[in-house]
Chain A
Amino acid sequence: MQTTVHFYSYFKDLTGCAQTRETLAAGSTIGDLLKVLADRFPKLGALQHSMLVAVGVDYQGRGYVLKEGDEVSLFPPVQGG
């Protein structure tokens, strides 16, 4: 299963890219995706606890089961205003 992951704010600097694609086993969760990304981007892995995760335009928890075609976004705490 292919999943596209987008990075925002300084996560783009930490990973060196605005987006990436990961191949995951069917039934993988956001938590599983974060483990894969932590191995690939150790600086990102260190921020997993404060990281916010969205699928499409809605927030999702670590237990969310990913589906083919999901667009995942990872970003630090928001700071509008």
Chain B
Amino acid sequence: MKRQLTITLEPIDEAALASKRKMSDGMGAVVYFAGVVRATEENRVIHAIEYEAFQPMAEHQFNLLFSEMEKRWPIESVRLVHRIGMVKVNEPSLWVEVVAPHRGEAFAACQWLIDEMKRVVPIWKKPCA
């Protein structure tokens, strides 16, 4: 399984990521997800979220999750971008893409990866009013 992980201070360019997609002839499903900063957090109006990562551990934990994904589903590739630093409302903080032979495994793997990320990858958010 090909894997590409980026933890960056730069804005996530979804069009550029989509333009670099590579998939072989046997692949029939691409699932991608963008997590976007909402204008409210726990009923408070905010203008941004500041993300902090313990980056070496975050990279290690993401790679453990990718390895587990590879065991569970026939995934050809996963690309994940997590932005850190200040992310304004309406801007994506997370972008994930999973390429697989069929939609079932692509959706399941993408959902699982995001759920597990929120459980084990050391990234935190601080809402900014």
Contacts and interface: CB of A to CB of B under 8 A. Distances in A.
B124 A78 contact: yes
Q: How large is the interface on A (under 10, 10 to 19, 20 to 34, 35 or more residues)?
A: 10 to 19
A59 B120 CA distance: 9
Chain A interface SS verdict (over half): loop
Contacts of A76: 124
Contacts, number: 60
B52 interface: yes
B15 to A, nearest CB: 21
Contacts of A57: 56-57, 59-61
Q: How large is the interface on B (under 10, 10 to 19, 20 to 34, 35 or more residues)?
A: 20 to 34
B47 to A, nearest CB: 18
A75 B117 CA distance: 15
A80 B60 contact: no
21 contacts: A8-B122, A9-B52, A9-B126, A10-B124, A52-B122, A54-B54, A54-B57, A54-B122, A57-B56, A57-B57, A57-B60, A58-B60, A73-B122, A78-B119, A78-B122, A80-B51, A80-B94, A80-B125, A81-B82, A81-B117, A81-B118
